[in-house]
């Protein structure tokens, strides 16, 4: 009895000391199984590293170098058994008995660590072991004893990088590969050709890089922002030589990463057309210039001319020896059919092949390229538009416009890789646009990425097998530097790694976001890598009705400090540090604003969060009316606005009634406009109601002439809320919205006491 007790105490001690009660021991992605045991293994100068085969030696040496660089521990590496007085770390390919080629086991005992796996598996075992080691890198590190068995959920785990819009230097491509490998991702999708730049040397067509690798200037600001657009008047360009590409592929291979090149066709090919205009539609097409702004271009490869196919086959013939990958990505997305419709060569191709339309011509194009690549022993991947007009027989679909492309492919017994924009587009914003670098749009924070299950539940188990994996995409229209790429991928890539590797039953967002991510970010904080500092754990951008509010926060990066204010000012280092929990009391009839910021040891700062606390004790009385008409009255004002305050209903170009606030009504009218909706909302019972709007651009919601939701200003789609204490009955409601160009979104929501949030619909609205 006594003995067991000692063991238990010891075990608890070990847990708190080293694992901070983290059942996953700090490992991202979370392993399949982790069993904690009593005791610890201590790394010292007297430890020894052992290996079996030459490949095991390679991985053992990487671990040796890691210990040396991080902890100044230079431990001998030996094939023969060395009697290490303070324990051995054995890297072995024969020790792994599992079936998965990427699986591994890691057995940590007090005197010996067995790191077991074959090739990639052993490499991943080493990554896990490195992650278990403490972030504070000093002295002789100790780790808790444990048994870990692990294997991936998906065989395809990818990250994409667009180097067409912005060229990324070679050392950064290597760094990118390093971080993929660290997080057990096994595919680098290298998007090498675009309208704005052709980035890979093709010796038979040198103008592709000499002309197509460069553009005269680049758009400043957002593509949607203003007309006419401003340019930087600065030439931009560059490309990778075939020797450099070989270097990258070899480097990636050494990290168990497959590089899949993407050569876009038939669309996104203006840079190639700038070099070889004869590949476009019609007689004497062009001239074209390498694109200088973003968006989808109508000039594409001609699908009627044989010379297009000869050219692309020549290009691929040079590409194939550089990339041993079975998969070659041939694009296929966003190809307008405008030019094909007017081109005699394309129309002849359609007639000669009994094709129904230009969609089938696109399908002909992709089929033909697939046939060529299949004849060389390769398989194609295409974006989900390759479904249009019929899928090529052996194609794998990369589903980006949503999940439906992947679902359709799987139902046709084709493999699919899921990369839906809403969940894994890392060019999207991670916070409210006014606190983030310029981005293409969208809002895809880490939690959204984490919430994604790549395997659609609507598929049968047989069809689900065709979902071979998941990938995040990094499009670089608005990402011009490696530092900005880093900001966009960290920490979201951690979430990607976990949805790609970890089985559903082992996923746990709380453990991920609150225990493991802060540790990994603390590690990054010690390097020169840029990352987005998440806002404090527990801090919310919201409006809450409360007389007393408990403040319970944790730093999002281990070792970082949280500063806060309750006076409305932006918090900074001169403000109070959050060091213990406290409660804020809000006097009756008053508001209080809690603002927080996280500042990391290296000085990186999070966005500022704002929690508005409202103590509204007396409820707003209902109006003594019974309005007869359903819906709201609306006022429509075309024009350029930057605030809803500028909307004067007396100046409305159009008025009428509308069921609710959808701006769809005004689509296809002016590019920029404002609208005001007025009427009454029926409140079913007394209580504190929460209202919110999501809008791109600004909006406000007023109840009884009082501003409840302040979501004004030019910004991307974002939700803001507010609260109102209301008595049962009709209350005046006014909703204001303006659209300054770009995507056109406006929705209003209400959360009644004790009910779920719902959109404010016609059934609640009157005028």
List contacts with ligand ACM (CB under 6 A). 333-334, 383, 400
Q: Which is nearer to ligand ACM, 338 or 347 (CB)?
A: 338
Integer angstrom CA distances of residue 293 from 34, 237, 289, 754: 50, 14, 11, 49
**Are 759 and 749 within 8 A, CB to CB?**
yes
At closest approach, how far in Å is the CB of 172 from ligand ACM? Answer: 21
Q: Which does 620 bind (CB under 5 to 8 A by kind): ligand ACM, Zn ion, none?
A: none
Give the residue ranges of DSSP H helices in 116-163: 120-132
As a dihedral over the C-alpha atoms of residue 459, residue 463, residue 468, residue 470, rounded to 10 degrees, the angle is: -10
Least CB distance to Zn ion at residue 304 (A): 4
Of residues 213 and 267, the one with the C-beta less far from ligand ACM: 267
If contact means CB under 5 to 8 A according to the sort of partner, which of ligand ACM, Zn ion, none does residue 719 touch? none
Closest distance of CB 336 from ligand ACM, Å = 13
Which of Zn ion, ligand ACM, none does residue 400 bind to, with CB < 5 to 8 Å depending on kind?
A: ligand ACM
Give the CB-nearest residue to ligand ACM: 333
Give the one entry of ligand ACM, Zn ion, none that residue 500 binds, where binding means its C-beta sits below a cut-off of 5 to 8 angstroms depending on kind.
none
In this structure, what are the phi and psi dihedrals at residue 149, rounded to the nearest 5 degrees? -125, 135
Nearer CB in complex with ligand ACM: 48/267: 267
- Binding partner of 343, given ligand ACM, Zn ion, none, CB within 5-8 angstroms per partner class: Zn ion
Instruction: Show the tokens assigned to 552.
Output: 């319970």
Using the minimum distance from each CB to ligand ACM, give the nearer residue, 145 or 479. Answer: 479
**In the bound complex, what is the minimum distance in angstroms from residue 333's beta carbon to ligand ACM?**
4
Beta bridge partners of 116: 92, 105
In the bound state with ligand ACM, the residue whose beta carbon lies nearer, of 195 and 201, is 195
Cβ contact 278:285 at 8 Å: yes
Which of ligand ACM, Zn ion, none is residue 383 near (CB under 5 to 8 Å by kind)?
A: ligand ACM
φ/ψ of 331, rounded to 5, equals 70, -120
- State whether the Cα torsion 637-642-643-645 is positive or negative: negative
Task: Kindly give the pairing relationship between strand 236-237 and strand 214-215.
Answer: antiparallel
302 binds, among ligand ACM, Zn ion, none (CB under 5 to 8 A by kind): Zn ion
Compare residues 340 and 702 and give the one whose CB is closer to Zn ion.
Answer: 340
**Helix (H) / strand (E) containing 90:** strand 88-92
Comparing CB distances to Zn ion, the nearer of 212 and 266 is: 266
Q: Tell me the closest approach of the beta carbon of residue 381 to ligand ACM, in angstroms.
A: 11
With a CB cutoff of 8 Å and minimum separation 6, the contacts of 321 are: none
Instruction: Name the minimum Å distance from CB 160 to ligand ACM.
Output: 9
User: 77 touches which of Zn ion, ligand ACM, none (CB within 5 to 8 A by kind)?
Assistant: none
Q: Least CB distance from residue 588 to ligand ACM, whole Å?
A: 52
Question: Which is nearer to ligand ACM, 55 or 333 (by Cβ)?
Answer: 333
SS (H, E, C) 265-308: ECCCCHHHHHHCHHHCCCCCCCCCCCCCCCCCCCCCCCCCCHHH
Q: C-beta of 383: minimal distance to ligand ACM in Å?
A: 5
Integer angstrom CA distances of residue 638 from 79, 190, 461, 696, 735:
77, 43, 51, 16, 17
Q: Which is nearer to Zn ion, 145 or 281 (CB)?
A: 281
322 binds, among Zn ion, ligand ACM, none (CB under 5 to 8 A by kind): none
Q: Return the one option of ligand ACM, Zn ion, none that residue 637 interacts with (CB less than 5 to 8 A, by type).
A: none
**Residues found near Zn ion in the complex (CB under 5 A):** 281, 302, 304, 343, 345-346
DSSP 512: I
Four-CA torsion 570, 575, 581, 585, nearest 10 degrees:
-60
Of 383 and 702, which CB lies nearer to ligand ACM in the complex structure? Answer: 383
Q: Look at residues 471, 377, 481 and name the one whose alpha carbon lies nearest to residue 418.
A: 471
Q: Report, in Å, the least distance between residue 427 CB and ligand ACM.
A: 9
- At closest approach, how far in Å is the CB of 223 from ligand ACM? 14
Residues whose CB falls within 8 Å of the CB of residue 726, separated by 6 or more in sequence, listed in order: 619, 620, 622, 683, 686, 687, 688, 689, 703
Report the half-sphere exposure of 324 (CA within 13 A, side-chain side).
Answer: 11
């Amino acid at each position: 009895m006594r003995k067991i007790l000692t063991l238990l105490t010891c075990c608890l001690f070990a847990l708190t000391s080293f694992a901070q009660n983290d059942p996953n021991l700090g490992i991202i992605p979370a392993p399949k199984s982790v069993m904690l045991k009593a005791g610890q293994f201590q790394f010292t100068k007297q430890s020894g590293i052992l290996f079996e085969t030459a490949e095991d030696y390679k991985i053992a040496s990487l671990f040796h170098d890691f210990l040396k660089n991080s902890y100044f521990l230079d431990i001998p590496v030996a094939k023969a058994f060395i009697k290490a007085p303070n324990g051995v770390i054995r890297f072995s390919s024969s020790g792994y008995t599992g079936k998965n080629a990427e699986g591994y086991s890691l057995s940590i005992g007090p005197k010996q660590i067995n790191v077991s796996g074959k090739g990639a598996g052993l490499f991943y075992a080493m990554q896990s072991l490195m992650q278990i080691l403490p972030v504070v890198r000093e002295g002789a590190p100790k780790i808790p004893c444990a048994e870990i068995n692990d294997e991936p959920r998906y065989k395809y785990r990818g990250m994409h990088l667009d180097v067409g819009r912005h060229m990324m230097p070679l050392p950064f491509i290597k760094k990118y590969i390093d971080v993929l490998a660290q997080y057990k991702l096994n595919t680098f999708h290298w998007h090498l050709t675009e309208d704005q730049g052709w980035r890979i040397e093709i010796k038979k067509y040198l103008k592709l890089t000499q002309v197509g690798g460069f553009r005269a200037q680049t758009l400043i600001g957002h593509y949607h922002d203003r007309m006419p657009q401003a340019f930087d008047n600065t030439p931009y360009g560059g490309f990778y030589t075939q020797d450099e590409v070989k270097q990258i592929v070899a480097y990636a291979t050494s990290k168990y990463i497959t590089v899949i090149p993407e050569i876009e066709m038939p669309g996104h090919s203006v840079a190639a057309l700038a070099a070889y205009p004869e590949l476009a539609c019609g007689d004497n097409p062009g001239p074209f210039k390498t694109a200088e702004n973003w968006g989808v271009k109508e000039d594409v490869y001609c699908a009627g001319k044989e010379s297009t196919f000869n050219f692309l086959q020549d290009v691929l013939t040079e590409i194939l020896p550089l990339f041993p990958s079975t998969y070659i990505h041939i694009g296929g997305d966003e190809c307008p059919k405008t030019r094909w419709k007017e081109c005699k060569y394309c129309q002849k191709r359609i007639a000669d092949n009994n094709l129904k339309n230009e969609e089938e011509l696109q399908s002909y194009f992709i089929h033909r390229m697939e046939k060529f690549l299949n004849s060389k022993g390769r398989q194609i991947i295409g974006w989900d538009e390759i479904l249009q007009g019929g899928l090529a027989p052996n194609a794998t679909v990369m589903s980006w416009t949503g999940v439906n492309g992947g679902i359709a492919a799987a139902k046709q017994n084709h493999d699919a890789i899921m990369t839906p924009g809403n969940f894994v587009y890392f060019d999207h914003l991670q916070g409210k646009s006014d606190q983030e670098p310029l981005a293409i749009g969208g809002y895809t924070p880490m939690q959204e990425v984490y919430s994604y299950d790549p395997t659609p539940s609507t598929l049968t188990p047989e069809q689900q097998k065709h979902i071979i994996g998941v990938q995040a995409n990094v499009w670089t229209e608005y990402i011009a530097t490696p530092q900005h790429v880093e900001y966009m991928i960290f920490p979201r890539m951690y979430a990607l790694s976990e949805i790609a590797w970890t089985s559903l039953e082992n996923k746990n967002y709380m453990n991920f976001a609150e225990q493991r991510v802060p540790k990994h970010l603390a590690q990054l904080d010690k390097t020169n890598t840029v990352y987005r500092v998440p806002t404090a754990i527990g801090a919310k951008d919201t409006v809450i009705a409360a007389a007393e509010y408990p403040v319970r926060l944790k730093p999002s990066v281990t070792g970082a400090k949280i500063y806060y204010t309750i006076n409305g000012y932006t918090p900074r280092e001169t403000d109070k540090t959050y060091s213990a929990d406290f409660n804020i009391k809000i006097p009756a009839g008053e508001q209080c604003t809690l603002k927080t910021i996280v500042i990391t040891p290296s000085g990186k700062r999070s966005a500022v969060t704002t929690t508005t606390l409202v103590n509204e004790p007396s409820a707003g009385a209902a109006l003594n009316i019974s309005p007869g008409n359903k819906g709201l009255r609306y006022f429509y004002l075309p024009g350029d606005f930057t605030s809803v305050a500028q909307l004067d209903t007396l100046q409305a170009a159009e008025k009428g009634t509308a069921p609710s606030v959808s701006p769809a009504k005004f689509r296809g009218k002016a590019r920029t406009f404002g609208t005001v909706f007025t009427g009454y909302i029926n409140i079913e019972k007394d209580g504190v109601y929460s209202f919110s709007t999501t809008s791109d651009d600004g909006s406000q919601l007023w109840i009884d002439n009082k501003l409840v939701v302040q979501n004004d200003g030019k910004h991307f789609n974002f939700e803001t809320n507010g609260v109102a204490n209301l008595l049962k009955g009709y209350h005046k409601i006014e909703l204001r919205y303006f659209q300054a160009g770009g995507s056109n979104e406006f929705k209003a929501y209400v959360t009644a006491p004790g009910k779920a949030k719902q959109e404010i619909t016609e059934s609640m609205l009157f005028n």
